[in-house]
């Protein structure tokens, strides 16, 4: 049975701290750019922050509205206002702390909980609310953190000016990507009753696989941006179109409304620019092989273009370092990918029939616990 442990609660608190610090670092970096007269970079950093905040608030409000169907209209209006002021994620963290504390610390001491709030129901509440948060963090990671990381690396490579502010932003970006990846995978496995526990070694292998492949790809995009900003924009748009088209062909049913489903597919298309994302819970050996083979070919192609088109740049030290890091992280990332899928990835996919738990109600009736939003697919 899924369990929300004390360790999970500690990581939840850590996630809140990192989220708040990340907001502070974003504004700090933007202010630094404005003070230096680099208004374009400052505005770009704030645009990434604003776009990701807007989209995550929209999804958060829609999920609240779906979950609270039939409840008091006043509560829903209050939730709408909170999300309008871009603070919906903090409401979700409050619920996560509330349910997480009950599941991790108070459940064992309350022997009467099984009558009105069965232990498995309390655990499910805690797991579901944390999974919602981690899904929103995945959206934030690829709408804000990853693009910001790309911009920071590009600025370092293009202008050669580095300071503590930029290094802090890069480190926070890498930390944000790493934590969101692992936390989401942990929560997702907990929300799927037929998945194995995500132990320390699989976590580490999964983290290195994602982090290294994303690092290699971001460095590759930074290199082609140095060569031609227009070519980089065209490549990113083309990749988004490919990802969005693939998502359309999967006929996803993640959201209840068609408008939200289109928004979801748009966001998934952006995620697919940077990493593979399985949206249907199907075996994707062929798809993931094609995906990373394409990344490998494009990465090597970019390096060859530099060799034959801009041979003078090859002599520069920063190009040598970036090229070595790009190839090394790509090779290691693919190795960890193979290790993860060969030894640690769950092979049994959740079926809807196996995902609905029966919970005893107060009047002796049986209430069916709704299948979570995330029990029909798994992020690879």
Q: Are residues 80 and 142 in the same domain?
A: yes
Q: Are residues 3 and 132 in the same domain?
A: yes
The confidence score (pLDDT) of residue 354 equals: 37
Q: Is residue 349 part of a domain?
A: no
Q: Which of 37, 10, 223 is nearest to 105 (CA)?
A: 10
Portion of the chain with pLDDT greater than 70, in percent? 78
Q: Which residue has the higher pLDDT, 310 or 360?
A: 310
The confidence score (pLDDT) of residue 367 equals: 37
The confidence score (pLDDT) of residue 112 equals: 43
Is pLDDT of 378 > 50? no
Q: How confident is the model at residue 328 (pLDDT cuts 50, 70, 90)?
A: very high
Whole-number Cα distances in Å, 214 to 141, 220, 309, 329: 12, 10, 26, 9
The structural domain count of the chain equals 2
Q: Which of 141, 140, 142, 149 is nearest to 168 (CA)?
A: 149
| Integer Rg of the chain from CA | 22
Calculate the average pLDDT of the chain: 79
Q: Are residues 183 and 260 in the same domain?
A: no
Q: How confident is the model at residue 320 (pLDDT cuts 50, 70, 90)?
A: confident
Q: Are residues 257 and 320 in the same domain?
A: yes
Is pLDDT of 113 > 70? no
- Dist. CA 82–CA 111, nearest whole Å: 36
pTM: 0.83
Is pLDDT of 288 > 50? yes
3-class DSSP state of 177: helix
Range of the domain at 254: 198-344
3-class DSSP state of 282: coil
The confidence score (pLDDT) of residue 185 equals: 78
Q: Are residues 298 and 324 in the same domain?
A: yes
Q: Which residue has the higher pLDDT, 241 or 103?
A: 241
Read off the pLDDT of each residue in 269-295 and give the average, rounded to a whole number: 84
Q: Are residues 180 and 203 in the same domain?
A: no
Most confident of 160-169, 253-262, 370-379: 253-262
Q: Is residue 356 part of a domain?
A: no
Is pLDDT of 104 > 60? yes
Lowest-confidence pick of 132-141, 190-199, 238-247 = 190-199
Read off the pLDDT of each residue in 333-346 and give the average, rounded to a whole number: 86
Q: Are residues 150 and 48 in the same domain?
A: yes
Boundary residue ending a domain (143, 175, 197):
197
The confidence score (pLDDT) of residue 351 equals: 43
Q: Which residue has the higher pLDDT, 55 or 21?
A: 55
Q: Are residues 240 and 95 in the same domain?
A: no
Q: Are residues 206 and 185 in the same domain?
A: no
Q: Are residues 265 and 322 in the same domain?
A: yes
Q: Are residues 185 and 281 in the same domain?
A: no
Read off the pLDDT of each residue in 47-59 and give the average, rounded to a whole number: 93
Q: Is residue 90 part of a domain?
A: yes
Is pLDDT of 116 > 80? no
């Amino acid at each position: 049975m899924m369990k929300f442990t004390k360790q999970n609660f500690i990581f939840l608190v850590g996630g809140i701290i990192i989220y708040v610090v990340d907001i502070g670092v974003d504004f700090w970096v933007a202010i630094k750019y404005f003070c230096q007269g680099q208004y374009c970079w400052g505005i770009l950093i704030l645009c990434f922050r604003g776009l990701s905040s807007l989209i995550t608030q929209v999804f958060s409000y829609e999920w609240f509205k779906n979950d609270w169907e039939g409840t008091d209209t006043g509560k829903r209006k209050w939730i709408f206002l909170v999300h309008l002021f871009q603070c919906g994620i903090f409401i979700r963290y409050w619920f996560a702390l509330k349910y997480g504390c009950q599941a991790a610390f108070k459940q064992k001491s309350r022997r009467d909980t099984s009558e009105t709030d069965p232990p498995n129901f309390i655990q499910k509440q805690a797991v579901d609310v944390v999974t919602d948060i981690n899904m929103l963090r995945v959206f934030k990671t690829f709408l804000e953190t990853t693009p910001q990381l790309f911009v920071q690396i590009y600025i370092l490579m293009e202008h050669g000016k580095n300071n503590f502010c930029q290094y802090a932003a890069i480190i926070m970006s890498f930390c944000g990507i790493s934590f969101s990846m692992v936390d989401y995978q942990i929560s997702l496995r907990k929300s799927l009753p037929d998945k194995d526990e995500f132990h320390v070694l699989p976590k580490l292998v999964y983290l290195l696989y994602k982090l290294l492949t994303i690092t290699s790809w971001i460095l590759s995009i930074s290199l082609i941006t140095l060569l031609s900003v227009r070519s980089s924009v065209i490549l990113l748009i083309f990749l988004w179109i490919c990802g969005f088209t693939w998502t359309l062909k999967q006929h996803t049913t993640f959201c209840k409304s068609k408008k939200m489903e289109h928004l979801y597919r748009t966001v998934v298309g952006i995620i697919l620019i940077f990493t593979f994302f399985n949206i249907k819970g199907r075996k994707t050996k062929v798809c993931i092989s094609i995906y990373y083979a394409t990344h490998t070919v494009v990465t090597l192609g970019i390096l060859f273009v530099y060799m034959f088109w801009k041979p003078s740049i090859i002599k520069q030290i920063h190009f040598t370092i970036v090229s070595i890091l790009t190839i090394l992280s790509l090779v290691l990332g693919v190795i960890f990918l193979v290790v993860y899928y060969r030894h640690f990835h769950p092979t049994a996919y959740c079926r809807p029939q196996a995902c609905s738990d029966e919970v005893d109600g107060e009047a002796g009736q049986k209430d069916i616990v709704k299948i979570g939003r995330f029990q029909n697919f798994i992020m690879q």
